[in-house]
Amino acid sequence: MESLSFDLARTPLRQVNQFLHTGLAAGDTRTVEILNPDGAHSIAVGLDREVTIDIRGHAGYYAAGMNKRAHVTIHGSAGTGVAENQMSGVVHVKGFASNGAGASAHGGLLIIDGDAGLRCGISLKGGDIVVGGSVGSFSAFMAQAGRMVICGNAGDALGDSLYEAVLYVRGNIKSLGADARIEPMTDDDMRTVGALLEKAGLTHDPGSFKRVASARSLYHWNADANQEY
């Protein structure tokens, strides 16, 4: 059977996740629909297969956590830590996302059509995140690698203690965190933003974004950095 549907109002989440981990391997299922998620936590965590999953409603914490290869769409909003530690694949939130969206993601793409809460992209390690709306404070905190495209505004302390991740912001930045700075957009940056927007189905002008990256002044001991070190 190429397509399967689970109703979380009738089937326990444990059974659904177990199928996604071990049952998928046995058959040729290409698409899975999950009905009535009703804010359940840990839906479709730990996937490791090229499969399309549609969650029809709101998801709780850690939806599609640690995803590998799967394409997961949440047709609603997502709780804390959506696509946390994602390795590859795509997670698309049609609504809003709560705190820590895409936290520590190593790869893959997270698309959030609406706004994201606090700490979006915190500890990012190579994944890409496109947010159609705004992001809350402390986003991209200690982000190490990867890219974030923020079409709306950013809250306080954006990119605090950034390593090598690069952020692109179209709207206003309330404040930058320690060692984050605005840099000129290069042609490469334009192409990067254009490509990520296209993947997310957005049509903003890449030239309207600002680039935020690390000034790298906290990379080594610095007696003059005072409390920021």
Partner 1 sequence: MDIKSASGKSESHEESWGYDRKTIDYIQNASAHGLYEIRGLGAKRRLPHFDDLVFLAASLSRYPLEGYREKCLTRTTLGTRFATKPIELETPITIAGMSFGALSANVKEALGRAATQMGTSTTTGDGGMTQEERRSSKTLVYQCLPSRYGFNPDDVRRADAIEVVIGQGAKPGGGGMLLGQKVNPRVAKMRTLPEGVDQRSACRHPDWTGPDDLVIKIKELRELTDWEKPIYVKLGATRVFNDVKLAVHAGADVVVVDGMQGGTAATQTCFIEHVGIPTLAAVRQAVDALEDLNMKGEVQLIVSGGIRTGPDVAKAIAMGADAVAIGQGILVALGCNAATYIKDGQHISALDGYRALGTAPGYCHHCHTGKCPTGVTTQDVQLEQRLQPDVGARRVKNYLKTLTMELTTIARACGKQNVHHLEREDLVALTVEAAAMARVPLAGTDWIPGVRRG
Do the beta carbons of residue 44 and residue 19 sit within 8 Å?
no
In the complex, the residues that contact partner 1 under the rule CB under 8 A are: 13-14, 17-18, 21-22, 41-42, 45-46, 48, 60-62, 65-66, 68, 80-81, 84-85, 87, 99-100, 103-104, 106, 119, 122-123, 125-126, 141-142, 144-145, 161, 163-164, 219-221, 223-224, 229
Q: By C-beta, is 39 or 95 nearer to partner 1? A: 39
Q: By C-beta, is 41 or 75 nearer to partner 1? A: 41
The CB-of-212 to partner 1 minimum distance in angstroms stands at 18
The CB-of-146 to partner 1 minimum distance in angstroms stands at 9
Q: By C-beta, is 55 or 197 nearer to partner 1? A: 55
Please, what's the largest Cα pairwise distance for the chain? 64
Strands 125-131 and 3-7: unpaired
Q: By C-beta, is 101 or 197 nearer to partner 1? A: 101
Distance (Å, rounded) from C-alpha 80 to C-alpha 83? Answer: 9
Element (H, E) at 214: strand 210-214
Distance (Å, rounded) from C-alpha 53 to C-alpha 85? Answer: 18
Closest CA to 121 of 93, 142, 94: 142
Q: By C-beta, is 37 or 126 nearer to partner 1? A: 126
The CB-of-142 to partner 1 minimum distance in angstroms stands at 6
Do the beta carbons of residue 36 and residue 13 sit within 8 Å?
no
The CB-of-154 to partner 1 minimum distance in angstroms stands at 17
The CB-of-21 to partner 1 minimum distance in angstroms stands at 6
Closest CA to 141 of 101, 194, 197: 101
